[in-house]
Amino acid sequence: MASVSDFNSPHNITWCPGCGDFGILVALKGAFAKLGLSPHNVVVVSGIGCGGKIPHFIRTYGFEGIHGRALPAATGIHLANHELTVVAIGGDGDGCGIGLGHFMHAMRRNLDITYIIQDNEIYGLTVGQASPTTKKGVITKSTPHGTPEDPINPPLVALAAGATFVARGFSGDIPHLTDLIAKGIAHRGVAFIDVFQPCVTWRKDLPYELYQKKIYKLEEVGHDPSDWQAAVKRAIETERWPIGIFYQVQKPIYTDQIPFIKDKPLVKHDISNIDISKYLEEFM
């Protein structure tokens, strides 16, 4: 049985003291341990950003991609070997900016992977520009007169795109987030989790105390996660901020519909009798 310590990495963590990424990292390791996963059967894929270094800070297989491209890499890994547990993770700028197209298509395909957005409503690594989730009117380094655009709502995007598991967590509530990530990974199908993550350096107007004041848990108010319309209503709330499972339903997953990988991962197919010389000649 795996323990949290089995997922500890020897690399020094370089985030700002108090960064919400610490809570996400602890919750992710806790979820892996809770599910009894082994490090060699897990792949964590990231894009670029403060949280993009998570594959370095957790002892599993890992891949740090380029900005906005965590999901294409995660998709390729999953389709090559769907027996692995694949978790893609990245910031709100990473996933809702240049990566938004990949976000939409991963949700509609219902790949059996988990996608986590570290949502601090800012581009933190590049020192404080407005991100796609920054609320209208917020003053940042790139919007000195206030952000002129309405923000993207990640859970609403996931719901509209057809995700079969949509949730939101808070990096300041590690036990709740751990349970949420574990449930997302255990879900058969695509699981999307938006995580409120305070940026203590560039978003001092969004401190932990404000999140704690505004947040409430869906499981404590009788929310029905099988009701898509109810999930949409929760996702667009602004006065209070719900966390928990917005929506969960079972549908056929992507790999079940691909005949040659349905029963056996692609990496386990015998290709010793396949002649690829003509393709090598053409493309090499």
Q: What phi and psi values does residue 264 have, to the nearest 5 degrees?
A: -145, 130
Dump pLDDT digits (tens) for 265-275.
999 998 888 89
Instruction: Report how far Cα 7 is from the mean position of its chain's Cα atoms.
Output: 18
Dump pLDDT digits (tens) for 188-208.
999 999 999 999 999 999 999
Asked if residue 41 has pLDDT above 70, the reply is yes
Rounded to whole angstroms, how far apart are CA atoms 96 and 211? 21
222 C-beta neighbours (distance < 10 Å), count: 6
Widest pairwise Cα distance in the chain: 65
Do 225 and 248 meet the contact criterion of CB atoms below 8 Å apart? yes
Do 243 and 119 meet the contact criterion of CB atoms below 8 Å apart? no
Dump pLDDT digits (tens) for 140-169.
999 999 999 999 999 999 999 999 999 999
Q: What is the pLDDT of residue 1?
A: 67
Q: What is the pLDDT of residue 152?
A: 96
Rounded to whole angstroms, how far apart are CA atoms 17 and 10? 18
Domain tally for the chain?
Answer: 1
Rounded to whole angstroms, how far apart are CA atoms 60 and 258? 27
Q: Point out the least confidently predicted range of 5-14, 127-136, 218-227, 264-273.
A: 264-273
Residue type, 136: K
Q: From the CA atom positions of the chain, what is the Rg in Å? A: 19
Rounded to whole angstroms, how far apart are CA atoms 125 and 49? 5
Question: Which range of residues forms the domain containing residue 90?
Answer: 4-283
Q: What is the CATH number of the domain that holds 270?
A: 3.40.50.970
Of 236, 111, 108, 219, whose CA–CA distance to 169 is shortest?
219
